[in-house]
Amino acid sequence: MSNPYTSFEFVSRAKLPTRFGQFVIHGFVDTSNNQEHVALSYGEWAEDDVVPIRIHSECLTGDALFSIKCDCGFQLERALQNIVANGCGVLLYLRQEGRGIGLLNKIKAYSLQDEGYDTVEANEHLGFDADIRDYSICKTMLDTLNVKRVELMTNNPKKVKALKDMGIDVVRRMPIDHGITDANKGYLKTKTEKLGHTFNTDHLK
């Protein structure tokens, strides 16, 4: 059987001081499409340690432009805080804007949401599935960082399944309910009801 991960390669690493702490940034590429991804690591761990990790898909609007239409920027910040508080951990930052549809298509989806579509309906109206992200590169990233057992910070059960299917031992899941605002309650409710994400729905009323 061919190895499904042969197109993923580690490129380089460097120190990355942040306002949260001193991280190391690791660069990776999918040579099948030249898509670039990064991992941020903090601290040290032994091979058998359970390492807290976050798989975070790029969200320019939330991560860099401070949008509160989603909870992405809030989750990114909380994940980095959790990693530093724990003393070690990894953030996998995947270049999969708009659940894989790309930035400009995401803006089109936002326009449809302004007209009353929910986030799933908007993607589907544009001809996409609700979520087309691929987590395959996570295997190469975690292997490179010598991470075998993880505590996964997520509300998305599909990420848990994806890691388990790749042979990563997901010891436990840590909910990351953070950044719920009046502007994104509808978005989060849709993720709960249509995509199976696990939120405390009391916060969404």
Question: Does residue 131 sit in helix, strand or coil?
Answer: coil
173: annotated binding-site residue?
Answer: no
Distance between CA atoms of 126 and 79, rounded to whole angstroms? 31
8-state DSSP, 19: S
158: annotated binding-site residue?
Answer: no
Left if phi > 0, otherwise alpha if psi is -120 to 50, otherwise beta: which for 167? left
99: annotated binding-site residue?
Answer: yes
138: annotated binding-site residue?
Answer: no
44: annotated binding-site residue?
Answer: no
Distance between CA atoms of 2 and 85, rounded to whole angstroms? 40
97: annotated binding-site residue?
Answer: yes
Q: How many residues does the chain have?
A: 205
154: annotated binding-site residue?
Answer: yes
119: annotated binding-site residue?
Answer: yes
Q: What is the enclosing helix (H) or strand (E) of 104?
A: helix 103-114
- Which residues have a catalytic role annotated? 131, 133
88: annotated binding-site residue?
Answer: no
Handedness of CA 150, 23, 39, 26 (dihedral sign): negative
**Widest Cα–Cα separation across the chain:** 51
Beta strand spans in 2-101 (E): 8-17, 22-30, 35-42, 50-57, 89-94
186: annotated binding-site residue?
Answer: no
Could you list the residues known to form a binding site for GTP, using ranges: 54-58, 75, 97-99, 119, 154, 159
Could you list the residues known to form a binding site for Zn(2+), using ranges: 59, 70, 72
Could you list the residues known to form a binding site, using ranges: 54-59, 70, 72, 75, 97-99, 119, 154, 159
